[in-house]
Amino acid sequence: MLFDDKQLKRRGFLLGAASLTTMLAGCATVNQPAPTPAIARRPIGPPGEAEMITRYAGLEDGGHKLPAVPFQQIDPKFYRQRVEDPTGEPAGTVVVDTPSKFLYVVEPGGTAMRYGVGLGRAGFAWQGEGIIQWRQKWPRWKPPAEMIARQPELEKYSVENGGQEPGPSNPLGARALYIFQNSQDTLYRLHGTKEWSSIGKSVSSGCVRLINQDVIDLYERVPYKARIVVKQ
């Protein structure tokens, strides 16, 4: 079938118009605003058995060896786990709930990482708000004069004597976070312990203690000068 010049021109115009329409439609699609991504929801609750074995396995850290924790002998509610944030505090805040013996690190998106803790007399002695002024890996322990007065055998670990060498047997464990208020040391500490059986309990001495594997994790999540709230 043959087309004359007019028919060919008309056919070319119609094809060109169709292509332009398609191209414009494509541009309109490309220029549509992209949907705003939702905040990723992290898994809530305690991890599975395999993850728990890995989480509380023995490890070497800073030249020190830590034994595995028999987590099966600890109440599961005190396992490190992500929960719906019950604190209402801004992300990045550390919250110590002393009656429940939980410590929370508030995360974006309405969740918090929760740790079980053990509390001693000093752990119940302070409340309010402060900041984590100092953090230390494998700290030295320097008992205060009041403690040495009650337990003279601790004199060898006094400030004057340089404190106790770092290590798994040190009462401050693998990490210590030092709490200040109004630029003053509160003598309130978050620290590790080898005494995993004390988690969730009130013990004779110390501040707020966590399983060494948990305090190592906490140390990585809590920045220098983080805000801390301690609730009685």
Q: Examine residue 161 and state whether it is found in any structural domain, yes or no.
A: yes
Q: Which of 191, 192, 196, 215 is catalytic?
A: 191
Q: Which of 113, 207, 215, 218 is catalytic?
A: 207
How far apart, in whole angstroms, are the C-alpha atoms of residue 124 and residue 130? 15
Q: Examine residue 53 and state whether it is found in any structural domain, yes or no.
A: yes
Q: Examine residue 34 and state whether it is found in any structural domain, yes or no.
A: no
Can 191 be counted among the known catalytic residues?
Answer: yes
Q: Which helix (H) or strand (E) holds 181?
A: strand 175-181
pLDDT score, position 114: 98
Q: Examine residue 120 and state whether it is found in any structural domain, yes or no.
A: yes
Pick the closest to residue 174 from 198, 192, 195 (CA basis): 192
Q: What is the pLDDT of residues 23-71, one digit of tens each?
A: 334 433 344 544 444 444 567 877 888 999 999 999 999 999 999 999 9
**Coil, helix or strand at residue 82:** strand
Q: What's the CATH code of the domain at 165?
A: 2.40.440.10
Q: Examine residue 7 and state whether it is found in any structural domain, yes or no.
A: no
Q: What is the pLDDT of residues 76-130, one digit of tens each?
A: 999 999 999 999 999 999 999 999 999 999 999 999 999 999 998 766 677 899 9
Q: Examine residue 25 and state whether it is found in any structural domain, yes or no.
A: no
Tell me the mean pLDDT in the region 191-202: 94
Can 64 be counted among the known catalytic residues?
Answer: no
Per the structure, the count of domains in the chain is 1
Q: Examine residue 5 and state whether it is found in any structural domain, yes or no.
A: no
Q: Examine residue 182 and state whether it is found in any structural domain, yes or no.
A: yes
**Domain residue limits at 178:** 47-228
Tell me the mean pLDDT in the region 142-161: 87
